[in-house]
Amino acid sequence: MAIARVVANVASRRLPAYADSVDVIEHAQSDLARGDNAAARDRLYAALRTAPASQPILELLAYTHLLMGDRAAAGAAWFLTGKTDDDPTASAAFAALEARHPSPIGLARVLPINAPSEYYPVQAQERLLRLTAAVRSTGQEWVPPRDTIYFDELGVDTDDFFDDAFPTSGDATAGSGRPFRQRIVATLIIVAIAATSASVVLALVFS
């Protein structure tokens, strides 16, 4: 079986991986090598929580789904990779994904996306843009995680306090590009607010 041979090749070699996902990929490859495909799948999904844009993880996840006979799920994983729309293997998976989830919002909700669209390859970003437009054309709204900015009750951009070191397709250490100065300013604002609150409390106590 062609798919089995491809997955066997993937499982038998060490894929290039980012620092946080090396062990996960090695274990997933071992799972596949001994035929425990479900364990490999679950391990890879769990890894995407901490390495959401890892191309090696997404690629291996797609092949794992193919081996399990779930072409649509493979398409969901490949949706976020650098695979082109006309890739011989991925195109069939994309078609299966669209057939299973004909509504744009339904398709969007099954993507294993846990990072802003900018962290994914250009091909994936283009697919996400088209998908977002398709969702909006139906009168609904969907944006990839953290593509919006959320403010807490103090009016501070809470995104400044997230770890922005998500691995991208080309750099395991690259961040989101958010200026370091902006994070410092946000931190100073919080410190200033805390200090002011403490001063008010002390004034009330000793007045």
Q: What is the pLDDT of residues 75-112, one digit of tens each?
A: 999 999 999 999 999 999 999 999 999 999 999 999 99
What is the model's pTM?
A: 0.65
- Cβ distance 151 to 157 under 8 Å? yes
Q: How far is CA 18 from CA 13, 36, 154, in A?
A: 15, 23, 35
pLDDT classification of 20: cutoffs 50, 70, 90 = low
- Domain borders along the chain are 2-148
Q: pLDDT tens across 49-84, in order? A: 999 999 999 999 999 999 999 999 999 999 999 999
- The number of angstroms, rounded, from the C-alpha of 139 to the middle of its chain's C-alpha atoms is 25
Residue corresponding to tokens 């403490």: 198
Considering only CA atoms, which of 62, 49, 42, 1 is closest in space to residue 21?
49
Whether the per-residue pLDDT at 114 is higher than 70: the answer is yes
Tokens of 151: 């403010």
Comparing 27 with 186, the larger pLDDT belongs to 27
Could you please report the per-residue DSSP string of 47-90? HTTTSTT-HHHHHHHHHHHHHTT-HHHHHHHHTTSS--TT-TTH
- The number of angstroms, rounded, from the C-alpha of 18 to the middle of its chain's C-alpha atoms is 14
